[in-house]
A and B are shown apart, each in its own frame.
Chain A
Amino acid sequence: MSAAPILAAFRQSLGEAWAGGAGALLPLGFLGGAAVLVPLGIGSDGETLKAVGPGIIWVALALASLVTLERIFQSDAEDGTLDLWLQAGAPVSAIAAAKTLAHWLSAGLPLALFSPLLALMFQAEASPALLVNAGLYALGSLAFFFWGGVGAALSATVRRGGLLISLIALPLYVPTAIFGALAMSGGPGSAGAPLFLAASTLFACAVAPYAMAAALRLAAD
Protein backbone atom coordinates (compact mmCIF):
# COMPACT_ATOMS: atom_id res chain seq x y z
CA MET A 1 0.00 0.00 0.00
CA SER A 2 1.25 3.41 -0.85
CA ALA A 3 0.31 6.76 0.61
CA ALA A 4 0.27 8.47 -2.80
CA PRO A 5 -3.48 8.03 -3.53
CA ILE A 6 -4.34 9.27 -0.05
CA LEU A 7 -2.22 12.40 -0.48
CA ALA A 8 -3.74 12.99 -3.92
CA ALA A 9 -7.28 12.70 -2.54
CA PHE A 10 -6.36 15.17 0.19
CA ARG A 11 -4.96 17.59 -2.34
CA GLN A 12 -7.95 17.30 -4.65
CA SER A 13 -10.43 17.92 -1.84
CA LEU A 14 -8.47 20.92 -0.65
CA GLY A 15 -8.54 22.32 -4.18
CA GLU A 16 -12.25 21.65 -4.44
CA ALA A 17 -12.96 23.41 -1.16
CA TRP A 18 -11.14 26.49 -2.43
CA ALA A 19 -12.64 26.34 -5.92
CA GLY A 20 -14.42 29.54 -6.80
CA GLY A 21 -12.07 31.42 -4.51
CA ALA A 22 -14.37 31.22 -1.50
CA GLY A 23 -12.83 28.40 0.52
CA ALA A 24 -12.74 29.18 4.20
CA LEU A 25 -14.38 32.56 3.72
CA LEU A 26 -17.79 31.08 3.05
CA PRO A 27 -18.17 29.21 6.37
CA LEU A 28 -16.61 32.19 8.14
CA GLY A 29 -19.22 34.46 6.63
CA PHE A 30 -21.86 31.96 7.68
CA LEU A 31 -20.57 31.96 11.24
CA GLY A 32 -20.28 35.74 11.30
CA GLY A 33 -23.80 36.14 9.99
CA ALA A 34 -25.16 33.75 12.60
CA ALA A 35 -23.27 35.58 15.33
CA VAL A 36 -24.74 38.90 14.26
CA LEU A 37 -28.27 37.48 14.20
CA VAL A 38 -28.13 36.02 17.71
CA PRO A 39 -28.16 39.33 19.64
CA LEU A 40 -31.02 40.46 17.41
CA GLY A 41 -32.93 37.33 18.32
CA ILE A 42 -32.28 37.12 22.04
CA GLY A 43 -31.62 40.73 22.93
CA SER A 44 -28.39 42.58 23.52
CA ASP A 45 -28.13 42.05 27.25
CA GLY A 46 -24.43 41.54 27.97
CA GLU A 47 -24.81 38.86 30.62
CA THR A 48 -27.16 36.77 28.48
CA LEU A 49 -24.86 36.99 25.46
CA LYS A 50 -21.88 36.02 27.58
CA ALA A 51 -23.75 32.97 28.82
CA VAL A 52 -24.94 31.73 25.43
CA GLY A 53 -21.85 32.73 23.41
CA PRO A 54 -19.85 29.48 23.70
CA GLY A 55 -22.94 27.42 22.94
CA ILE A 56 -23.83 29.48 19.88
CA ILE A 57 -20.36 28.93 18.51
CA TRP A 58 -20.73 25.15 19.02
CA VAL A 59 -24.01 25.19 17.14
CA ALA A 60 -22.56 27.32 14.35
CA LEU A 61 -19.64 24.87 14.00
CA ALA A 62 -22.04 21.94 13.80
CA LEU A 63 -24.15 23.68 11.16
CA ALA A 64 -21.12 24.82 9.19
CA SER A 65 -19.92 21.22 9.03
CA LEU A 66 -23.30 20.08 7.72
CA VAL A 67 -23.54 22.88 5.18
CA THR A 68 -20.09 22.33 3.69
CA LEU A 69 -20.03 18.55 3.79
CA GLU A 70 -23.08 18.06 1.61
CA ARG A 71 -21.05 18.03 -1.60
CA ILE A 72 -17.89 16.30 -0.38
CA PHE A 73 -18.81 12.85 -1.72
CA GLN A 74 -21.86 13.75 -3.77
CA SER A 75 -19.89 15.58 -6.43
CA ASP A 76 -17.46 12.64 -6.63
CA ALA A 77 -20.34 10.23 -7.15
CA GLU A 78 -21.86 12.46 -9.84
CA ASP A 79 -18.78 13.13 -11.93
CA GLY A 80 -17.29 9.63 -11.74
CA THR A 81 -14.37 10.52 -9.48
CA LEU A 82 -15.68 8.16 -6.81
CA ASP A 83 -15.23 5.20 -9.18
CA LEU A 84 -11.62 6.21 -9.67
CA TRP A 85 -10.91 6.59 -5.95
CA LEU A 86 -12.45 3.20 -5.24
CA GLN A 87 -9.96 1.67 -7.67
CA ALA A 88 -6.98 3.79 -6.65
CA GLY A 89 -5.32 0.99 -4.72
CA ALA A 90 -5.55 2.58 -1.27
CA PRO A 91 -7.97 1.67 1.52
CA VAL A 92 -11.21 3.54 0.85
CA SER A 93 -11.38 4.44 4.52
CA ALA A 94 -8.07 6.29 4.24
CA ILE A 95 -9.24 8.14 1.11
CA ALA A 96 -12.46 9.14 2.88
CA ALA A 97 -10.54 10.27 5.97
CA ALA A 98 -8.17 12.34 3.82
CA LYS A 99 -11.07 14.05 2.06
CA THR A 100 -12.81 14.76 5.35
CA LEU A 101 -9.64 16.13 6.87
CA ALA A 102 -9.13 18.42 3.88
CA HIS A 103 -12.65 19.78 4.28
CA TRP A 104 -12.15 20.26 8.00
CA LEU A 105 -8.93 22.18 7.31
CA SER A 106 -10.69 24.50 4.89
CA ALA A 107 -13.98 24.95 6.75
CA GLY A 108 -13.77 23.73 10.35
CA LEU A 109 -10.36 24.84 11.53
CA PRO A 110 -10.70 28.46 10.30
CA LEU A 111 -13.96 28.71 12.24
CA ALA A 112 -12.30 27.44 15.39
CA LEU A 113 -9.39 29.85 14.97
CA PHE A 114 -11.86 32.67 14.38
CA SER A 115 -13.84 31.83 17.53
CA PRO A 116 -11.98 34.10 20.01
CA LEU A 117 -13.06 37.09 17.94
CA LEU A 118 -16.66 35.89 17.99
CA ALA A 119 -16.45 35.26 21.72
CA LEU A 120 -15.46 38.90 22.14
CA MET A 121 -18.54 39.85 20.14
CA PHE A 122 -20.50 37.88 22.72
CA GLN A 123 -19.08 40.01 25.51
CA ALA A 124 -16.51 37.47 26.73
CA GLU A 125 -13.53 38.99 28.52
CA ALA A 126 -10.30 38.94 26.59
CA SER A 127 -8.24 36.25 28.28
CA PRO A 128 -6.00 33.30 27.39
CA ALA A 129 -9.02 31.10 28.08
CA LEU A 130 -10.40 32.16 24.70
CA LEU A 131 -7.42 30.54 23.00
CA VAL A 132 -7.95 27.36 25.01
CA ASN A 133 -11.55 27.44 23.85
CA ALA A 134 -10.39 27.83 20.26
CA GLY A 135 -8.44 24.60 20.72
CA LEU A 136 -11.53 22.88 22.11
CA TYR A 137 -13.59 24.12 19.17
CA ALA A 138 -10.96 22.79 16.78
CA LEU A 139 -11.01 19.41 18.51
CA GLY A 140 -14.79 19.19 18.64
CA SER A 141 -15.31 20.35 15.07
CA LEU A 142 -13.05 17.54 13.88
CA ALA A 143 -15.57 15.07 15.34
CA PHE A 144 -18.41 17.03 13.71
CA PHE A 145 -16.75 16.76 10.31
CA PHE A 146 -16.02 13.05 10.62
CA TRP A 147 -19.54 12.15 11.73
CA GLY A 148 -20.94 14.53 9.14
CA GLY A 149 -18.78 12.74 6.59
CA VAL A 150 -20.60 9.49 7.39
CA GLY A 151 -23.90 11.22 6.65
CA ALA A 152 -22.43 12.70 3.47
CA ALA A 153 -21.18 9.29 2.31
CA LEU A 154 -24.53 7.65 3.02
CA SER A 155 -26.38 10.30 1.05
CA ALA A 156 -23.78 10.56 -1.75
CA THR A 157 -26.24 9.37 -4.39
CA VAL A 158 -29.29 11.05 -2.89
CA ARG A 159 -30.52 14.25 -4.48
CA ARG A 160 -30.93 17.05 -1.97
CA GLY A 161 -29.14 14.90 0.57
CA GLY A 162 -28.40 17.79 2.93
CA LEU A 163 -31.36 17.08 5.14
CA LEU A 164 -30.52 13.40 5.28
CA ILE A 165 -26.98 14.24 6.38
CA SER A 166 -28.39 16.28 9.24
CA LEU A 167 -30.70 13.46 10.32
CA ILE A 168 -27.86 10.96 10.33
CA ALA A 169 -25.15 13.14 11.78
CA LEU A 170 -26.87 15.28 14.41
CA PRO A 171 -27.46 12.43 16.90
CA LEU A 172 -23.76 11.55 16.55
CA TYR A 173 -22.86 15.15 17.44
CA VAL A 174 -24.39 14.79 20.90
CA PRO A 175 -21.31 13.61 22.88
CA THR A 176 -19.15 16.32 21.35
CA ALA A 177 -21.73 19.00 22.11
CA ILE A 178 -22.17 17.79 25.69
CA PHE A 179 -18.47 17.56 26.54
CA GLY A 180 -17.60 20.67 24.59
CA ALA A 181 -20.18 22.80 26.34
CA LEU A 182 -19.31 21.28 29.72
CA ALA A 183 -15.63 22.05 29.23
CA MET A 184 -16.43 25.72 28.75
CA SER A 185 -19.06 26.00 31.45
CA GLY A 186 -16.60 26.24 34.32
CA GLY A 187 -19.13 24.29 36.40
CA PRO A 188 -18.68 20.97 38.22
CA GLY A 189 -17.09 18.30 36.06
CA SER A 190 -15.68 20.82 33.61
CA ALA A 191 -12.08 19.93 34.53
CA GLY A 192 -12.25 16.46 33.00
CA ALA A 193 -14.52 17.41 30.11
CA PRO A 194 -11.74 18.31 27.64
CA LEU A 195 -10.39 14.78 27.98
CA PHE A 196 -13.79 13.32 27.24
CA LEU A 197 -14.09 15.71 24.31
CA ALA A 198 -10.74 14.50 23.01
CA ALA A 199 -11.80 10.88 23.52
CA SER A 200 -15.03 11.36 21.59
CA THR A 201 -13.14 13.04 18.76
CA LEU A 202 -10.60 10.21 18.66
CA PHE A 203 -13.46 7.74 18.56
CA ALA A 204 -15.02 9.61 15.63
CA CYS A 205 -11.71 9.70 13.73
CA ALA A 206 -11.20 5.98 14.34
CA VAL A 207 -14.67 4.71 13.49
CA ALA A 208 -16.12 7.15 10.96
CA PRO A 209 -13.65 6.37 8.11
CA TYR A 210 -14.76 2.73 8.05
CA ALA A 211 -18.42 3.73 8.03
CA MET A 212 -17.69 6.20 5.21
CA ALA A 213 -15.84 3.52 3.23
CA ALA A 214 -18.72 1.06 3.53
CA ALA A 215 -21.22 3.73 2.52
CA LEU A 216 -19.13 4.81 -0.49
CA ARG A 217 -18.76 1.24 -1.74
CA LEU A 218 -22.51 0.91 -1.47
CA ALA A 219 -23.01 4.18 -3.33
CA ALA A 220 -20.92 2.92 -6.24
CA ASP A 221 -22.47 -0.56 -6.29
Chain B
Amino acid sequence: MNSQAPSLLTGAGLGMIRGERVLFREVSVAVRAGDALLLRGANGAGKTTLLRILAGLTRPEAGRVTRAAAHHWVGHREGLKPQETPREHLKLWAQAWGCGAETDSVLTRMGLARPADVAGRYLSAGQRRRTALARLLLEDRPVWLLDEPYTALDADGRKLVDDLIAAHRGKGGAVVAAIHGETGFAASGDLSL
Protein backbone atom coordinates (compact mmCIF):
# COMPACT_ATOMS: atom_id res chain seq x y z
CA MET B 1 0.00 0.00 0.00
CA ASN B 2 2.56 2.51 1.13
CA SER B 3 5.91 1.38 -0.20
CA GLN B 4 7.76 4.26 1.45
CA ALA B 5 6.88 3.19 4.98
CA PRO B 6 9.41 1.03 6.80
CA SER B 7 8.64 -2.67 6.80
CA LEU B 8 7.17 -3.96 10.06
CA LEU B 9 7.77 -7.58 9.21
CA THR B 10 9.99 -9.01 6.53
CA GLY B 11 10.60 -12.54 5.42
CA ALA B 12 13.27 -13.02 2.77
CA GLY B 13 13.85 -16.13 0.70
CA LEU B 14 11.88 -18.37 3.03
CA GLY B 15 11.86 -22.05 2.35
CA MET B 16 10.48 -24.95 4.30
CA ILE B 17 10.70 -28.71 4.12
CA ARG B 18 8.24 -30.99 5.86
CA GLY B 19 9.17 -34.64 5.83
CA GLU B 20 10.67 -35.17 2.41
CA ARG B 21 8.56 -32.59 0.66
CA VAL B 22 9.47 -29.02 -0.16
CA LEU B 23 6.53 -27.10 1.26
CA PHE B 24 7.53 -23.80 -0.33
CA ARG B 25 10.71 -22.08 -1.41
CA GLU B 26 11.94 -18.57 -2.12
CA VAL B 27 8.93 -16.96 -0.49
CA SER B 28 9.42 -13.33 0.42
CA VAL B 29 7.09 -11.22 2.48
CA ALA B 30 7.18 -7.57 3.44
CA VAL B 31 4.44 -6.00 5.49
CA ARG B 32 4.11 -2.27 6.05
CA ALA B 33 1.76 -0.07 8.03
CA GLY B 34 -1.80 -0.41 6.77
CA ASP B 35 -1.13 -3.61 4.86
CA ALA B 36 -3.30 -6.70 4.93
CA LEU B 37 -1.54 -9.62 3.34
CA LEU B 38 -3.59 -12.71 2.57
CA LEU B 39 -1.95 -16.10 2.46
CA ARG B 40 -3.74 -18.28 -0.05
CA GLY B 41 -3.31 -21.90 -0.93
CA ALA B 42 -4.91 -25.31 -0.80
CA ASN B 43 -5.02 -27.33 2.43
CA GLY B 44 -1.50 -28.41 3.25
CA ALA B 45 0.13 -25.76 1.07
CA GLY B 46 1.96 -24.36 4.08
CA LYS B 47 -0.03 -21.29 5.07
CA THR B 48 0.03 -22.10 8.76
CA THR B 49 3.70 -23.05 8.60
CA LEU B 50 4.56 -19.74 6.95
CA LEU B 51 2.60 -17.87 9.62
CA ARG B 52 4.43 -19.79 12.34
CA ILE B 53 7.74 -18.94 10.71
CA LEU B 54 6.79 -15.25 10.61
CA ALA B 55 5.83 -15.48 14.30
CA GLY B 56 9.15 -17.09 15.20
CA LEU B 57 7.56 -20.33 16.36
CA THR B 58 9.01 -22.44 13.56
CA ARG B 59 12.50 -22.12 12.21
CA PRO B 60 12.59 -21.87 8.42
CA GLU B 61 14.79 -24.24 6.47
CA ALA B 62 16.02 -21.29 4.40
CA GLY B 63 15.72 -17.54 4.54
CA ARG B 64 15.39 -15.00 7.29
CA VAL B 65 12.62 -13.21 9.14
CA THR B 66 13.09 -9.70 10.48
CA ARG B 67 10.52 -8.48 12.97
CA ALA B 68 10.70 -4.73 13.43
CA ALA B 69 7.55 -4.54 15.55
CA ALA B 70 5.67 -6.50 18.17
CA HIS B 71 3.01 -8.88 16.92
CA HIS B 72 -0.13 -10.64 18.05
CA TRP B 73 -0.67 -14.30 17.30
CA VAL B 74 -4.05 -15.95 16.91
CA GLY B 75 -3.52 -19.50 15.74
CA HIS B 76 -6.12 -22.08 14.82
CA ARG B 77 -5.86 -23.37 18.38
CA GLU B 78 -7.31 -20.74 20.64
CA GLY B 79 -5.03 -21.09 23.67
CA LEU B 80 -8.05 -21.21 25.98
CA LYS B 81 -7.93 -23.73 28.83
CA PRO B 82 -10.99 -25.94 29.46
CA GLN B 83 -11.41 -24.54 32.96
CA GLU B 84 -10.68 -20.95 31.95
CA THR B 85 -13.44 -18.41 31.35
CA PRO B 86 -13.06 -15.70 28.69
CA ARG B 87 -12.74 -13.13 31.45
CA GLU B 88 -9.99 -15.10 33.21
CA HIS B 89 -8.26 -15.70 29.89
CA LEU B 90 -8.10 -12.01 29.07
CA LYS B 91 -7.07 -11.07 32.61
CA LEU B 92 -4.27 -13.64 32.48
CA TRP B 93 -2.84 -12.38 29.22
CA ALA B 94 -3.27 -8.74 30.20
CA GLN B 95 -1.21 -9.61 33.26
CA ALA B 96 1.35 -11.62 31.29
CA TRP B 97 1.86 -8.81 28.81
CA GLY B 98 1.94 -6.21 31.55
CA CYS B 99 -0.83 -4.09 30.01
CA GLY B 100 -3.56 -2.79 32.23
CA ALA B 101 -6.27 -3.43 29.64
CA GLU B 102 -9.90 -2.93 30.58
CA THR B 103 -11.15 -6.48 30.01
CA ASP B 104 -14.85 -5.63 30.47
CA SER B 105 -14.96 -3.35 27.46
CA VAL B 106 -13.01 -5.87 25.37
CA LEU B 107 -15.47 -8.62 26.30
CA THR B 108 -18.40 -6.41 25.33
CA ARG B 109 -16.77 -5.38 22.06
CA MET B 110 -16.23 -9.06 21.16
CA GLY B 111 -19.82 -10.02 22.01
CA LEU B 112 -18.62 -12.08 24.95
CA ALA B 113 -20.41 -10.20 27.73
CA ARG B 114 -22.91 -13.03 28.23
CA PRO B 115 -20.52 -16.04 28.27
CA ALA B 116 -17.76 -14.04 30.01
CA ASP B 117 -17.84 -16.30 33.07
CA VAL B 118 -18.46 -19.63 31.36
CA ALA B 119 -15.61 -22.12 31.43
CA GLY B 120 -13.90 -22.82 28.11
CA ARG B 121 -15.14 -26.38 27.90
CA TYR B 122 -18.75 -25.18 27.77
CA LEU B 123 -18.17 -22.49 25.16
CA SER B 124 -19.07 -22.97 21.52
CA ALA B 125 -16.28 -23.03 18.94
CA GLY B 126 -17.29 -19.55 17.83
CA GLN B 127 -17.18 -18.18 21.36
CA ARG B 128 -13.72 -19.67 21.88
CA ARG B 129 -12.58 -18.08 18.63
CA ARG B 130 -13.97 -14.71 19.74
CA THR B 131 -12.06 -15.08 23.01
CA ALA B 132 -8.81 -15.71 21.15
CA LEU B 133 -9.45 -12.72 18.89
CA ALA B 134 -10.20 -10.60 21.95
CA ARG B 135 -6.50 -10.83 22.88
CA LEU B 136 -5.83 -8.56 19.89
CA LEU B 137 -7.55 -5.73 21.73
CA LEU B 138 -5.69 -6.12 25.02
CA GLU B 139 -2.57 -4.44 23.76
CA ASP B 140 -1.75 -2.33 20.73
CA ARG B 141 0.72 -4.25 18.63
CA PRO B 142 1.50 -3.22 15.07
CA VAL B 143 1.43 -6.67 13.47
CA TRP B 144 -1.39 -9.22 13.66
CA LEU B 145 -0.72 -12.77 12.53
CA LEU B 146 -4.05 -14.55 12.09
CA ASP B 147 -4.59 -18.16 11.11
CA GLU B 148 -8.10 -18.62 9.68
CA PRO B 149 -9.67 -15.87 11.81
CA TYR B 150 -13.18 -16.55 10.43
CA THR B 151 -13.25 -20.17 11.53
CA ALA B 152 -16.43 -21.10 13.39
CA LEU B 153 -17.68 -17.50 13.43
CA ASP B 154 -21.24 -16.51 12.53
CA ALA B 155 -22.04 -13.62 10.17
CA ASP B 156 -21.89 -11.24 13.08
CA GLY B 157 -18.50 -12.54 14.14
CA ARG B 158 -17.10 -12.29 10.62
CA LYS B 159 -18.27 -8.70 10.43
CA LEU B 160 -16.56 -8.10 13.77
CA VAL B 161 -13.26 -9.47 12.44
CA ASP B 162 -13.56 -7.22 9.38
CA ASP B 163 -14.20 -4.20 11.59
CA LEU B 164 -11.26 -5.01 13.87
CA ILE B 165 -8.92 -5.42 10.92
CA ALA B 166 -10.14 -2.19 9.31
CA ALA B 167 -9.67 -0.26 12.55
CA HIS B 168 -6.25 -1.79 13.07
CA ARG B 169 -5.09 -0.88 9.57
CA GLY B 170 -6.50 2.60 10.00
CA LYS B 171 -4.26 3.06 13.03
CA GLY B 172 -1.20 2.07 11.02
CA GLY B 173 -1.26 -1.59 11.93
CA ALA B 174 -0.67 -4.49 9.58
CA VAL B 175 -2.27 -7.90 9.23
CA VAL B 176 -1.04 -11.17 7.78
CA ALA B 177 -3.85 -13.70 7.59
CA ALA B 178 -4.32 -17.16 6.19
CA ILE B 179 -7.89 -17.16 4.93
CA HIS B 180 -9.87 -19.46 2.69
CA GLY B 181 -12.56 -17.97 0.51
CA GLU B 182 -14.06 -14.53 0.70
CA THR B 183 -12.89 -11.75 2.95
CA GLY B 184 -14.89 -8.78 4.07
CA PHE B 185 -11.99 -6.40 3.62
CA ALA B 186 -9.81 -5.36 0.71
CA ALA B 187 -6.42 -6.99 0.99
CA SER B 188 -3.33 -5.08 0.00
CA GLY B 189 -1.74 -8.22 -1.37
CA ASP B 190 -2.15 -11.92 -1.95
CA LEU B 191 0.49 -14.54 -1.50
CA SER B 192 -0.24 -17.89 -3.10
CA LEU B 193 1.58 -20.88 -1.77
A residues near B, CB below 8 A?
Answer: 2, 4-5, 7-9, 11-12, 15-16, 19-20, 75, 78-81, 83-84, 86-89, 220-221
CB of A156, distance to nearest CB on chain B (Å): 14
* Alpha-carbon gap, A88 to B79, bound state (A): 13
Asked whether B75 lies within 8 Å of A83 as measured between CB atoms, the reply is yes
Report which of A8, A16, A87 forms a contact with B95, defined as CB distance below 8 A: A8
Asked whether B92 lies within 8 Å of A83 as measured between CB atoms, the reply is no
CB nearest to B57 among chain A residues: A220
Asked whether A78 lies within 8 Å of B98 as measured between CB atoms, the reply is no
Asked whether A83 lies within 8 Å of B77 as measured between CB atoms, the reply is yes
Across-interface contacts of B98 in A (CB, < 8 A): 2, 4-5
Counting residue pairs across A and B whose Cβ atoms lie within 8 Å, the total is: 72
CB of B90, distance to nearest CB on chain A (Å): 12
Asked whether A8 lies within 8 Å of B96 as measured between CB atoms, the reply is yes
Report which of B57, B58, B77, B93 forms a contact with A79, defined as CB distance below 8 A: B77
Interface of B is mostly: loop
CB of B100, distance to nearest CB on chain A (Å): 11
| Chain B residues numbered 86-122 whose CB sits less than 8 Å from any CB in chain A | 88, 92-93, 95-98
Asked whether A4 lies within 8 Å of B95 as measured between CB atoms, the reply is yes
Across-interface contacts of A86 in B (CB, < 8 A): 56-57
CB nearest to A5 among chain B residues: B96
Asked whether B77 lies within 8 Å of A80 as measured between CB atoms, the reply is yes
* Alpha-carbon gap, A33 to B97, bound state (A): 42
Across-interface contacts of A81 in B (CB, < 8 A): 79, 81
For this complex, 11 residue pairs linking A to B, each with C-beta atoms less than 8 Å apart, are A5-B96, A79-B77, A79-B81, A80-B77, A80-B78, A83-B57, A83-B79, A84-B79, A86-B57, A87-B57, A88-B96
Q: In this complex, which of A5, A83, A89, A221 has the most chain B Cβ atoms within 10 angstroms of its Cβ?
A: A83
* Alpha-carbon gap, A83 to B88, bound state (A): 18
CB of A119, distance to nearest CB on chain B (Å): 35
Across-interface contacts of B92 in A (CB, < 8 A): 8, 11-12
| Chain B residues numbered 35-86 whose CB sits less than 8 Å from any CB in chain A | 52, 55-59, 71, 73, 75-84
A19-B82, A79-B82, A220-B57 known; 20 new pairs, CB 8 Å cut-off, are A2-B98, A4-B98, A5-B97, A8-B92, A9-B96, A15-B81, A16-B81, A75-B81, A80-B75, A80-B79, A81-B81, A83-B79, A84-B73, A84-B79, A86-B56, A87-B57, A87-B73, A88-B97, A220-B52, A221-B59
